[in-house]
Amino acid sequence: MNIRRKQIYTTILLITLPLLVLVIALFVGRYPKPIWMNPALLGSDEIAQRLVLNLRLPRTITAMLLGMSLAAAGGVMQMLFRNPLVEPGFLGVSQGAGFGASLCIVFLTTNPLAIEGVATLFAVLGLAFSYFFARKMRYGGWLLRLVLAGIAVSAFFSAGLGILKYLADPNSQLQQIVFWLLGGLYSITWKSLLYILPVVIVGIIIIYLMRWRLNLLALEDETAFSLGVSVGRERTLLLAASVAVTAVVISVAGIVAWIGLIIPHIARRITGANAANFIPVSISLGAIFGILCDSLARTLMPGEIPLGIITSLLGAAIFIFLMVKPNLKVKA
């Protein structure tokens, strides 16, 4: 029963490590001075208290959920599309959210909650269009059609986004659009955290519980069918869970690239391809990576660095490192 014990230890590690990073991150920032705040300050300084409880705590939890969601959704999408280079926003979800947020900024309001709502709506619309066109398309298999439809829908939204940028007031709206597109958690409050929390929890639980089935769904349809899998139904459920968590986190955080692509890769390097093993690791690493990137974003410079820039920078660097060192393999 050595294996069982090892599994239990691994699970405990995968849960406690992100929580530990979360607690540490609460004391990282630029108050009272850059980088580190003495935890003892919480007892005496009221500003420190309010800063940690009302700003850093919801923000850091959101960063954790963001990382978990994108990493889990990325892992699922890569399995469902049998393609390790797929990322969670590619079915029109990211570009849809970007378009929706910009639409809201230019024509409606700059209220963050309103932007989140409209962004979610368009993220889901992006997926719905991709799905609809894929159904109508008369070419190729189902997965290929979804990919093609996703590319086309993304292109449409990105063109629309271009028009909105052109129309936007360069002194106020345009800046806001650009900042939103670069991603960031600077506007997170408890309210926006509560807005995404239920969807993220339900989505991640579904993905976690069905993680072994992902291996079956990555098989050719006829093989999966012969193994008793209801391919269409199970694939739709997992796709829906992934898109839902992606859409809500993008709606509050803007477009945060690379997490959904790179974290599942690293997880697979550690555990091997079996989704039963790599999905939990991916979720845990995603949580840590999310917190880490957000902490860097708000600490490195006096002004905030957009989160998307940090994730892209780190993500791309790690990606290149992994690609040029193909034999870097940790034995599970």
Partner 1 sequence: MSDRSLLTIDDLTFAYNTTQASALDRVSFEINAGTITTILGPNGAGKTTLLHLLLGLRKPASGSILLEDLPLHEYSRRNLSQWMGLVPQSEHVSFEYTVLEYVLLGRAPYLGPLELPGDGDIVIARDALQKTGIAFLEHRPIPALSGGELQLVLLSRALAQQPRILLLDEPTSHLDLANRNITLRILDQLRKEGTTILFTTHDPEAALIVADTIVLMNKGRVLAAGGFEETFTSEKLTQTYGVPVEVVRTDGIQVVKSMGRLS
Which positions ≥6 away from 77 have C-beta within 8 Å?
A: 86, 87, 88, 90, 239, 242, 260
* 222 near partner 1, rule: CB under 8 A: yes
For partner 1, the closer CB: 117 or 272: 272
- Dihedral angle sign, alpha carbons of residues 96, 101, 102, 107: positive
Q: How far apart are CA 4 and CA 128, in angstroms?
A: 42
For partner 1, the closer CB: 165 or 269: 269
User: Which candidate, 276, 235, 251, 297, places its Cα nearest to that of 7?
Assistant: 276
* 189 near partner 1, rule: CB under 8 A: no
Q: Which of these ranges, 45-53, 177-185, 222-230, 290-298, lies near partner 1 under the rule CB under 8 A?
A: 222-230
Q: Which of these ranges, 31-39, 42-50, 80-88, 167-175, lies near partner 1 under the rule CB under 8 A?
A: 80-88
Q: How far apart are CA 312 and CA 320, in angstroms?
A: 12
- Token couple for 308: 């998307």
For partner 1, the closer CB: 107 or 212: 212
Q: How far is the CB of 26 from partner 1 (least distance, A)?
A: 34
For partner 1, the closer CB: 43 or 326: 326
- Token couple for 109: 């309001």
The site for partner 1, by CB under 8 A, has a size of: 27
| Cβ neighbours around 31 below 10 Å, total | 14
Residue from the set 212, 236, 320, 321 that interacts with partner 1 by CB under 8 A: 212
For partner 1, the closer CB: 49 or 223: 223
Tell me how many helices (H) and strands (E) the chain has.
15, 2
The residues in 231-260 that bind partner 1, with binding defined as CB under 8 A, are 234
Site residues (vs partner 1, CB under 8 A): 79, 82-84, 209-210, 212-213, 215-216, 218-220, 222-223, 225-230, 234, 268, 272-274, 276
